[in-house]
Amino acid sequence: MFNRRKPEKLALTANSPVSKPRSTEAPSSPLAAELTRLLGPQKVLSAYGERLNYRYDAILVGKTPLCVVLPETTADVVAAVRAARAADVPIVGRGAASGLSGGAAPLEESLVISFTRMTKLTIYPEQREARAQAGVITLAVSEQARPHGLVYPPDPASFRTSTIGGNLGENAGGPMCFKYGVSGDYVKALEFVDVDGGIHELRRDAFDLAGLLIGSEGTLGLITEATLRLTPPPRFTRTLMSHFAEVGQAAEAVSQAIAAGAVPAKLEFMDKACTNAVEDYLQIGLPREAEAVLLVDTDGDDLATVEEELALVEAACQDHGGTVRRAADDAESAALWRARRSISPALGRIRPQRMNEDIVVPRSVLAEVVREIRSLGEASGFHLVQFGHIGDGNLHPNILFDPRTESSEKVHELAYQVAQVAIRHGGVLSGEHGIGAMKRDFMRDAVDAVTLEALWDVKRALDPEGMLNPGKILP
Ligand SMILES: Cc1cc2nc3c(=O)[nH]c(=O)nc-3n(C[C@H](O)[C@H](O)[C@H](O)COP(=O)(O)OP(=O)(O)OC[C@H]3O[C@@H](n4cnc5c(N)ncnc54)[C@H](O)[C@@H]3O)c2cc1C
């Protein structure tokens, strides 16, 4: 009988009531004892103070795990999974815990398998491939491939900390996803451990079973290694920033540029509140009055084409009333992109915590969606900023709050209203951050009953007893 475990009440990170440890001594569980026997004490964390660190991700505090293992090999993962199954303990995979949907936060007393020691990475320049264990840091792939004239394009803004396992768990995107695609597009094969401890190597064949694992947030299996596609980096990049009096103008400019044949490498949007937050932080002369700012890169190996694409974007921006500033050189380009990269620290100065939404809507309704969400923010009294990958219609409305003085229930309520706006306009709940625990309860509104049941069927087929990351994705 499939066990739909009852989810717990959720607490946002920094707002969790930290229950005092009764003791910092290891309150050894039979599972911890068995894992210590199997893997040795260096790979097992059983002391309360150590386990406490593994109950959260970047947005959610979950339940303190029963035990944590730090595997170094696939064989270690197999041993851990089998021991957890024998003890009837749920299993939660965890990378760098930079996730923004509560995916790596256990909702039940679980075994957390933390992949941070699985960092073996081999570059095969001839095949333009990398083989990475799950705990390899995203940026490390490009760093090690670059001497061979290759890079790994997926670029979540968290790429200095996030792991390949977490990226594949969420199918992470980034500013470059409009032209270059998301993490899953670079997977040629992957190895995963199933809920019974079986090891499988999947290639991207006609039946794309690897694709089923990608973006499944650790609910169908644990990815232990992946073969990743590498590409030569483009020889030339050009950058421009444009600002507009209306969000609709920016959205239309983007549509016109794309229709004219431009395929920008990066296409980022910031609303007025976001621009002002960054300007308060950096003081670099960003246009405070603008309702929308676009940051655009074109790139490629043929300079004439790169310039031509930039000219198409520039013309489209000007046609829609945008004021355009082209970066004169690499240094100016880096300075402009610093604005985008500084959003997180800039928002952190306003309120200590934020709920980061990740909706995707058709570009044609983007302006309306941005306006509706802004009105919701104003009515709620919360500070709300919006930015995102406008090329894909991927918008990140961020609700900023102080958990010491503002209610996380109200934050959730506003997040739900934001999700409703996306759904009403034909959009979806997540572009790249996943559903996790944070948006699990919105799924009934976003997905019809037949599709939801089909998703449950897949889950039942691969994890009949609901032992892998229970409480995530499926309501
Ligand atoms: C400042 C900041 C900026 C960000 N920018 C972006 C961005 O631009 N684009 C973007 O897409 N995301 C972004 N994120 C979100 C986050 O970094 C990504 O979702 C990232 O892919 C998570 O990687 P991680 O290693 O931290 O995974 P975790 O948070 O540890 O885990 C994420 C999910 O994957 C599962 N998982 C982890 N490892 C495995 C494994 N080996 N096998 C199976 N499942 C596994 C977990 O159970 C969980 O459900 C950002 C986050 C922050 C804090």
CATH number at residue 255: 3.30.70.3450
Residue where the block lists tokens 């009852």: 6
Question: What is the count of structural domains for the chain?
Answer: 4
**Residue 45 domain-assigned?**
yes
Residue 68 Cα, ligand 1 centroid: separation in angstroms?
A: 18
**Residue 445 domain-assigned?**
no
The answer to whether residues 298 and 265 touch, using CB atoms and an 8 Å cutoff, is: yes
Answer with the one of 164, 199, 229 that is the final residue of a domain: 229
Nearest to 90 by CA among 113, 57, 71, 70: 113
Residue located nearest, by CA, to atom 41 of ligand 1 = 165
Find out whether the beta carbon of 358 lies less than 6 Å from any atom of ligand 1: no
Q: Please, what is the end-to-end C-alpha distance for the chain in angstroms?
A: 17
Find out whether the beta carbon of 234 lies less than 6 Å from any atom of ligand 1: no
- Residue 203, beta-bridge partner list: 189
CA atoms of 2 and 9, how far apart (whole Å)? 22
Co-location of 241 and 336 in the same domain: yes
Q: In terms of residue numbers, what domain contains 424?
A: 351-432
Residue 163 Cα, ligand 1 centroid: separation in angstroms?
A: 7
Q: What pLDDT is stored for residue 222 in this prediction?
A: 98
What's at 189, amino acid-wise? A
Co-location of 312 and 363 in the same domain: no
Co-location of 129 and 219 in the same domain: yes
Co-location of 199 and 225 in the same domain: yes
User: What is the enclosing helix (H) or strand (E) of 424?
Assistant: helix 408-424
CA atoms of 309 and 234, how far apart (whole Å)? 14
Co-location of 224 and 247 in the same domain: no
Co-location of 23 and 85 in the same domain: yes
Task: Point out the ligand 1 atom lying closest to the alpha carbon of residue 58.
Answer: 53
Find out whether the beta carbon of 115 lies less than 6 Å from any atom of ligand 1: yes
Find out whether the beta carbon of 156 lies less than 6 Å from any atom of ligand 1: yes
Q: What pLDDT is stored for residue 1 in this prediction?
A: 30
What's at 140, amino acid-wise? A
Q: What pLDDT is stored for residue 208 in this prediction?
A: 93
**Residue 201 domain-assigned?**
yes
CA atoms of 205 and 208, how far apart (whole Å)? 5
Residue 173 Cα, ligand 1 centroid: separation in angstroms?
A: 10
Co-location of 246 and 327 in the same domain: yes
- For β-strands 91-94 and 111-114, DSSP reports them as parallel
Listed in sequence order, the DSSP H helices in 425-475 are: 443-446, 449-462
CATH number at residue 24: 3.30.43.10
Find out whether the beta carbon of 106 lies less than 6 Å from any atom of ligand 1: no
Q: What pLDDT is stored for residue 267 in this prediction?
A: 94
Residue 260 Cα, ligand 1 centroid: separation in angstroms?
A: 35
For the chain, 475 residues long, give each residue's pLDDT as a single digit of tens: 334 444 445 566 644 433 444 444 444 799 999 999 999 999 999 999 999 999 999 999 999 999 999 999 999 999 999 999 999 999 999 999 999 999 999 999 999 999 999 999 999 999 999 999 999 999 999 999 999 999 999 999 999 999 999 999 999 999 999 999 999 999 999 999 999 999 999 999 888 999 999 999 999 999 999 999 999 999 999 999 999 999 989 989 999 999 999 999 999 999 999 999 999 999 999 999 999 999 999 999 999 999 999 999 999 999 999 999 999 999 999 999 999 989 999 999 999 999 999 999 998 898 899 999 999 999 999 999 999 999 889 999 999 999 899 988 999 999 999 999 999 999 999 999 999 999 999 999 999 999 999 999 999 999 999 999 999 999 9
**Residue 103 domain-assigned?**
yes
- For β-strands 111-114 and 67-69, DSSP reports them as parallel
Co-location of 180 and 138 in the same domain: yes
Q: What pLDDT is stored for residue 11 in this prediction?
A: 61
Co-location of 313 and 356 in the same domain: no
**Residue 106 domain-assigned?**
yes
Co-location of 209 and 161 in the same domain: yes
Co-location of 318 and 356 in the same domain: no
Residue 104 Cα, ligand 1 centroid: separation in angstroms?
A: 8
Co-location of 94 and 142 in the same domain: no
Residue 234 Cα, ligand 1 centroid: separation in angstroms?
A: 26
Residue located nearest, by CA, to atom 19 of ligand 1 = 99
What's at 423, amino acid-wise? I
**Residue 263 domain-assigned?**
yes
Nearest to 110 by CA among 141, 79, 165, 68: 68
Q: What pLDDT is stored for residue 13 in this prediction?
A: 60
Residue 98 Cα, ligand 1 centroid: separation in angstroms?
A: 5
Find out whether the beta carbon of 422 lies less than 6 Å from any atom of ligand 1: no
Best of 120, 162, 192 for a ligand 1 pocket test (most atoms within 8 Å of beta carbon): 162
Residue located nearest, by CA, to atom 23 of ligand 1 = 166
CATH number at residue 152: 3.30.465.10
Q: What pLDDT is stored for residue 77 in this prediction?
A: 98
- Cβ-based burial of 157 (10 A; exposed 0-12, middle 13-18, buried ≥19): middle
Find out whether the beta carbon of 94 lies less than 6 Å from any atom of ligand 1: yes
**Residue 437 domain-assigned?**
no
CA atoms of 279 and 266, how far apart (whole Å)? 21
The answer to whether residues 93 and 169 touch, using CB atoms and an 8 Å cutoff, is: yes
